């Protein structure tokens, strides 16, 4: 049974630090929850303590810090870079190409044709908010290339708070099994198979890359972009926030969407009380009212 005692005393010179096989105690966990809530508005909840402990043990090992007490002391400095690493460690990045495929069909068949008809200036803007390792924005880019004629000024913004997954997203390199949800026709057109040291991997091709820009962004800090966006994908993100912050974020999305623009949420998400100015237009899809 884990008792909270360290497996070994402090490391000696030339020997690796042995991280304690300890439970993240309640006081320490609540401190972590407070830091995460303050920085990212994410509510971890009591059920996430074991998950948090497992992920933070990796940070202790990487830093050579033997105790959670010392780790929290490091975070006492509000300017410490470890605050970003903490958020990177505890955020969940579950995604896939064409996840919730009905959203991409809806984008191709309804949203993009409607927005093209509404934009005589041939300008389209799409935002993937919480893009994780990039499968979502690259999937959007494939649909855009197929549905939008040449000559349109089209851009896709992809943002995430996790700097590690954002770097992977921008690299656009994936294992072959990760691209299985992509149709053969799309794989042939948009993805390139690796060889040699990159055998078993695929890389997003040059046709898509000019479309997508990746940026680090905390959704609860000032947004450098003002829109208007024709489509915002924010799927399986707001489930991590309390009601007050959900309302705040959804209202902000409303403000940057063009009238008639579409907000797409995840399969287990919906608008909450206090958010107005949207009309349901599909499965967890909402159109900004034109008023």
Collect contacts of 264-267 with beta carbons under 8 A, ≥24 apart: 264/103, 264/106, 264/107, 264/231, 264/232, 264/233, 264/234, 264/235, 265/234, 265/235, 265/238, 266/100, 266/235, 266/236, 266/237, 266/238, 266/239, 267/100, 267/235, 267/236
> CB–CB of 216/244 below 8 Å?
no
Catalytic residues: 55, 160
Structure tokens at 7: 């497996």
> CB–CB of 287/279 below 8 Å?
yes
């Amino acid at each position: 049974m884990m008792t909270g005692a360290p497996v070994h005393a402090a490391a000696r010179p030339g020997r690796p630090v042995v991280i304690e096989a300890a439970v993240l105690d309640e006081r320490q966990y609540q401190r972590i929850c407070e830091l995460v809530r303050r920085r990212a508005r994410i509510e971890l909840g009591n059920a996430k303590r074991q998950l948090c402990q497992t992920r933070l043990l990796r940070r202790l090992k990487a830093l050579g810090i033997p105790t959670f007490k010392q780790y929290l002391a490091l975070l006492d400095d509000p300017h410490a870079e470890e605050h970003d690493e903490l958020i990177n460690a505890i955020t969940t990045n579950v995604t896939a190409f064409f996840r919730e495929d009905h959203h991409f069909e809806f984008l191709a068949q309804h949203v993009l044709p409607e927005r093209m008809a509404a934009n005589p200036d041939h300008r389209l803007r799409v935002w993937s908010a919480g893009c994780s390792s990039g499968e979502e924005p690259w999937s959007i880019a494939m649909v855009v290339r197929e549905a939008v004629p040449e000559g349109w000024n089209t851009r896709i913004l992809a943002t995430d708070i996790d700097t590690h997954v954002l770097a992977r997203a921008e690299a656009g390199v994936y294992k072959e099994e990760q691209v299985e949800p992509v149709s053969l026709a799309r794989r042939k057109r948009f993805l390139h198979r690796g060889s040699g040291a990159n055998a078993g991997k695929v890389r997003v091709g040059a046709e898509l890359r000019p479309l997508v820009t990746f940026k680090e962004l905390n959704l609860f800090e000032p947004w450098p972009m003002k829109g208007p966006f024709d489509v915002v994908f924010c799927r399986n993100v707001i489930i991590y926030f309390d009601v007050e912050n959900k309302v705040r974020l959804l209202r902000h999305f409303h403000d940057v969407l063009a009238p008639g623009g579409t907000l797409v949420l995840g399969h287990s998400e919906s608008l909450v009380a206090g958010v107005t100015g949207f009309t349901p237009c599909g499965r967890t899809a909402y159109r900004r009212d034109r008023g």
